[in-house]
């Protein structure tokens, strides 16, 4: 799997474009800047946007190529962010965050469950989790806009509420949207949105 992502992020074109994810943008725009964690952040589109708003951004991914692209873009745009190379379960932090955003961070259950449990512990009191993922309908209904081809890596609202049961649910949705995020997220998609607060 690591080789797959290194190859994808080694392509000249940004895999998911430069524009921030619209669901993430909708929510981060309403929150006073503080400390933000972006796990499995890829080439940094959401990290760069948040940094431009004044957020203190920490991002990570297990792809070295993703990190290199993100840091190059940050330098070109005169933005500051911390970007670590690590996998989901190996990430640790000695600080807590005001917001954690999980944007298309699809994992198999044996990784997802302990990762979600651990990542919740890095939220500050009243901290917010922003999450958007592909729903199982993405695969069942053959939506052409990307995502894992493994149903156990696709998330429902019920699954996320169970994983993050210590959070108070702020917003949920399971719905069809139109994606325009680089060449790998194009067209109609069926997604799950979840926002919770500690």
Report the pLDDT value the prediction gives residue 153, as an integer from 0 to 100: 96
Check if the beta carbon of residue 96 is closer than 8 Å to that of residue 38: no
Q: Is 144 exposed, middle or buried (0-12, 13-18, 19+ CB in 10 A)?
A: exposed
Domain ranges, residue 53: 2-197
Which ranges constitute the DSSP H helices of 77-179? Answer: 109-120, 137-140, 157-163
Kindly report the number of other CB atoms within 10 A of residue 128's CB atom.
22
Q: What is the pTM of this model?
A: 0.94
- Report pLDDT for 66: 85
d(CA 97, CA 37): 6
Is 83:72 a contact under the CB 8 Å cutoff?
A: no
What's the token pair of residue 63? Answer: 């792809």
pLDDT values of the chain reduced to their tens digit, one per residue, 198 residues: 677 767 777 777 776 767 899 999 999 999 999 999 999 999 999 999 999 999 999 999 998 888 989 999 999 999 999 999 999 999 999 999 999 999 999 999 999 999 999 999 999 999 999 999 999 999 988 898 989 999 999 999 999 999 999 999 999 999 999 999 878 788 999 999 999 999
d(CA 37, CA 47): 9
- Contact by Cβ (8 Å): 40, 60: yes
What pLDDT is stored for residue 22 in this prediction? 96
Is residue 73 within 8 A of residue 50, CB to CB? The reply is no
Using CA atoms, how far residue 117 sits from 112, 128, 198, in Å, is 8, 15, 13
Number of domains in the chain: 1
Specify the CATH number for the domain of residue 133: 3.40.50.150
Q: What is the pLDDT of residue 150?
A: 94
Of 37, 30, 25, 27, which is closest to residue 121 (Cα–Cα)?
37
**3-state DSSP call for residue 180?**
strand
Q: 157: which 2 tokens?
A: 């609202």
Runs of H (alpha helix) within the chain = 2-9, 22-28, 45-52, 64-76, 109-120, 137-140, 157-163
């Amino acid at each position: 799997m690591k080789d797959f992502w290194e190859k994808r992020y080694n392509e000249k074109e940004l895999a998911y474009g430069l524009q921030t994810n619209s669901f993430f943008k909708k929510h981060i725009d309403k929150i006073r800047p503080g400390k933000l964690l972006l796990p499995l952040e890829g080439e940094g589109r959401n990290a760069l946007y948040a940094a431009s708003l004044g957020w203190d951004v920490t991002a990570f991914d297990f792809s070295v190529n993703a990190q290199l692209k993100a840091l190059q873009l940050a330098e070109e745009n005169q933005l500051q962010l911390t970007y670590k190379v690590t996998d989901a379960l190996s990430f640790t932090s000695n600080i807590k965050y005001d917001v954690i955003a999980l944007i298309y961070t699809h994992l198999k259950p044996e990784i997802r469950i302990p990762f979600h449990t651990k990542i919740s512990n890095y939220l500050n009191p009243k901290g917010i989790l922003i999450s958007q993922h592909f729903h199982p309908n993405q695969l069942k209904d053959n939506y052409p806009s990307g995502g894992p081809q493994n149903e156990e890596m696709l998330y429902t609202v019920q699954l996320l509420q169970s994983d993050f049961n210590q959070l108070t649910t702020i917003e949920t949705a399971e719905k069809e949207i139109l994606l325009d995020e680089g060449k790998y997220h194009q067209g109609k998609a069926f997604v799950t949105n979840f926002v919770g607060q500690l």
